[in-house]
Structure 1
Amino acid sequence: MDARWMQRRVYGADHEDPDPGPRPGRRYVELVGGPLDGLLFDLTGLADSERSGGVALPTEIGAFGPGGRAYYGPRPGSEGSWHWEGDMP
């Protein structure tokens, strides 16, 4: 695992968790742009179709507030990161 990620927060980690960082044996991408910029997203367990299509992640800090989602997906040439493509209700 990339050493620069060891101090990073994983999307979905509990705010009370004393160690919200990445776990060994898991696969992560960095979320780039949008409301979740800088967080790591755990790809472990996602099907190939989900990995290629991206995900809509629930977030309260996007354009639609509580109940909204931020859409992130892979970009060619940007392995290791998924980029924000917009918010949705």
Structure 2
Amino acid sequence: MDELEFMRGRVYGADHDDAGPRPGRLYVELVGGPLDGLLLDVTGRPDHELREGVALATEIGAYGPGGHTLYTPRAEDTRRFDWRGDAP
């Protein structure tokens, strides 16, 4: 199994031993980019992040360790956040 296949269906930032979604939490799917297929737990996140998007730390983006990848919600389907690029 390659790295991308391993990561699908997992929750961003969760421990590898307990990476599945939890009941009672709200998730969006990350689409495209280095975190494609991961779920992001948005429970309790500020409203502006749900409208404008998020910068998520990742070591597998264009900037390697210490870099971020940017995702914004789809206008027609806010349950999915689309990749917009990477940032240092």
Question: How many residue pairs align between the two structures?
Answer: 81
Q: Which has the higher helix share?
A: 2
Looking at structure 2, the residues matched to 87 and 78 of structure 1 have their Cα atoms a distance apart, in angstroms, of 22
Structure 1 runs of 4+ with >6 Å offset:
none
Q: Give the TM-score of the pair, scaled to structure 2.
A: 0.87
**Match of residue 37 from structure 1:** 36
One-letter amino acid matched to 1:69: H
Q: Give the TM-score of the pair, scaled to structure 1.
A: 0.86
**Match of residue 69 from structure 2:** 70
Looking at structure 1, the residues matched to 24 and 58 of structure 2 have their Cα atoms a distance apart, in angstroms, of 26
Looking at structure 1, the residues matched to 45 and 78 of structure 2 have their Cα atoms a distance apart, in angstroms, of 16
One-letter amino acid matched to 2:23: P
Q: CA RMSD in A?
A: 1.2
One-letter amino acid matched to 2:29: E
Q: What percent of counterpart residues are identical?
A: 65
Where do 1:1-89 residues align within 5 Å?
A: 8-15=9-16, 17=17, 19-89=18-88
